Structure 1
Amino acid sequence: MKITILKSGQLCLLLGLAFTANAQKQRTTKWESGLMDHQNKVGIWEYYGYTASKEKVVVQRYDHSAKQLVYYRPAGDMTYRAETRPGQWASRVVDRPPLFVGGDPALAAYTTQLQYPQQAQSRNIQGQVVIGFAIDTLGRAADHRVLRSIGGGCDQEAMRVARTIPNEWIPARIGTRAVPVEYELTLTFRMAQP
C-alpha cells in the first residue's frame, strides 16, 4: 500500500476539483436533457418534441456554454415577413425560422401563464388572440402588438404574457445571414367545460 502525503494547498486543490466535478449534474425530463452547473444549463442540451405517432424526436440541440444552435429539426418551408433591406419588409421563405431556445415546450412554460380575465369569463368570450412582434438579428423581441383581437381583457392579458417571454430567441436566417422577422404568437382562451 502506498500512502501519499499532500500539502494543504494540494489537498485544497484536490478537494476543489472534486467539488467542481460534483457540481455538474445530468437533468433529463420528457422535454429536455443536459448538464446543470449550479442551476445553470451548460454544454449541449437536447430538446425533444413528439410526432403525431407519439415518437420522441430531437427538435433542437443548443450549446448553452457557447450560446449557439447546434441542430434543429426543420418543419418544412416557412414564410415570414423579413427585413430584406433596411426598412424594407417582404414575405420570404427563410432558410431557418426564428426559434425559441428549448423549442415549443420551453415557450409553453410562458404561454401557459395566461389568466382568464373575469370580464371575458362573465361574457363567455373565447377564442384566439394573435400577438405579433419582431425578432431581431440578436434574438431580441420588440414592438409587440395585437394582430387578432377578441376583447374582454383577453388582448391585454395575451400582450402581458407575450412580453414576459425572455429574449432567448435564435434569429431567423436567409442563407448564412441572420435577418429580422415578424413572429406571430397565438394564445388561446377557452372556457373550461363543466
Structure 2
Amino acid sequence: MNNYIYTFCQLILLSLTLTANAQKLHTTKWESGQLDRRTKVGVWEYYGYTASKERVVVQRYDHSTNELLYFRPSGEFIYNIEATPGQWQRHAVDRPPLFIGGDPALAVYTTQLQYPLQAQERNIQGQVTVGFAVDTLGRTSGHRVLRSIGGGCDQEALRVARTIPNEWIPARVGSHAVAAEYELTLTFRLAQP
C-alpha cells in the first residue's frame, strides 16, 4: 500500500514539474505574462507609455478566465451604443470597447496596411476612419468607412480592419455589457524622398 501512495505522490510531483516547466514568462516592451505552449494563460499586464516616456499598465487581463481585471481610463467615454435592438444613440459609457492588449496589440494588425498603387501615383495621403460595432460578446460586425480619402485607401483600410480578430472586450454601462461602435483611424502617408 505504501508503494502505491509513494508512486502516486511521485506522479503528482512529476505532473506539477511538467506543468511548471511548460509555462514560460514572456515579457516585451508592451506586455508581460505566462505562456503555456504559445497560449497566454493567467493574468497578463499590457503597457503603454506616457508623454514623458514612463511605462504604465493600460490593461490587466486574465486569459484563463477571459476577464478584464483593470484598464487605465483616459477621459470621458462617449460612444454610439445600441440602446435597443437596431436603435443607436450617443451615450456615456463606464468602460469603452477595448482590444485585448491595448493599442500596441491592435497595431500588429493596423501596421499591415499596403499602400494602394493608385493612391501612390495620385499622391493621395491622409486618414481613413473605419467604424464597426463591437457586440456584447466582443465580436465585430458592420465595418464601414466613416471618413474617406479614395484612391483605394478606403478599401485597404476596410480590409485591414476586418483582419483584426474578435479579441475585444465589450463596452459597459453600469454592470451591463453594451454593443458600441468603435472608430479606427488608419493613416496613409507617403515616404518622403
Given the two structures, how large is their TM-score scaled by the length of structure 1? Answer: 0.93
Q: Which residue of 1 aligns with 2:93?
A: 94
CA distance in 1, matches of 2:85, 2:158: 27
User: Cα deviation per residue 1:60-94 (whole Å; 9 max; x = unaligned)?
Assistant: 00000000000000011021111112222110111
CA distance in 2, matches of 1:36, 1:120: 41
Q: Which residue of 2 aligns with 1:41?
A: 40
Q: Which residue of 2 aligns with 1:157?
A: 156
Q: Which residue of 2 aligns with 1:128?
A: 127
CA distance in 2, matches of 1:59, 1:112: 20
Given the two structures, how large is their TM-score scaled by the length of structure 2? Answer: 0.93
CA distance in 1, matches of 2:70, 2:174: 16
Letter in 1 for 2:141: A
User: Cα deviation per residue 1:89-125 (whole Å; 9 max; x = unaligned)?
Assistant: 1101111000000000000000000011111111111
Runs of 4+ in 1 over 3 A off after TM superposition: 6-16
Structure 1 residue 13 displacement after superposition:
4.7
Three-state SS of the structure 2 residue aligned to 1:116 is coil
CA distance in 2, matches of 1:123, 1:48: 38
Structure 1 residue 15 displacement after superposition:
3.2
Structure 1 residue 10 displacement after superposition:
5.9
Letter in 2 for 1:36: L
Identity of aligned residues (%): 71
User: Cα deviation per residue 1:11-59 (whole Å; 9 max; x = unaligned)?
Assistant: 5554333221100011111000000000000000000001111111000
CA distance in 2, matches of 1:11, 1:139: 43
Three-state SS of the structure 2 residue aligned to 1:152 is coil
CA distance in 1, matches of 2:13, 2:182: 50
CA distance in 2, matches of 1:12, 1:175: 47
Letter in 1 for 2:166: N
Structure 1 residue 167 displacement after superposition:
0.3
Structure 1 residue 150 displacement after superposition:
0.8
Q: How does 1:12-161 map to 2 (within 5 A)?
A: 13-161=12-160
Structure 1 residue 8 displacement after superposition:
6.8
User: Cα deviation per residue 1:142-171 (whole Å; 9 max; x = unaligned)?
Assistant: 000111111111111111100000000000
Three-state SS of the structure 2 residue aligned to 1:192 is coil
In the alignment, structure 2 segments of 5+ residues that lack a partner are none
Q: Which residue of 2 aligns with 1:167?
A: 166
Three-state SS of the structure 1 residue aligned to 2:64 is coil
Letter in 2 for 1:133: F
Structure 1 residue 7 displacement after superposition:
7.3
Supply the RMSD in Å over aligned alpha carbons: 1.6
CA distance in 2, matches of 1:8, 1:173: 51
Three-state SS of the structure 1 residue aligned to 2:80 is strand
CA distance in 2, matches of 1:146, 1:68: 31
Three-state SS of the structure 1 residue aligned to 2:160 is helix
CA distance in 1, matches of 2:180, 2:146: 15
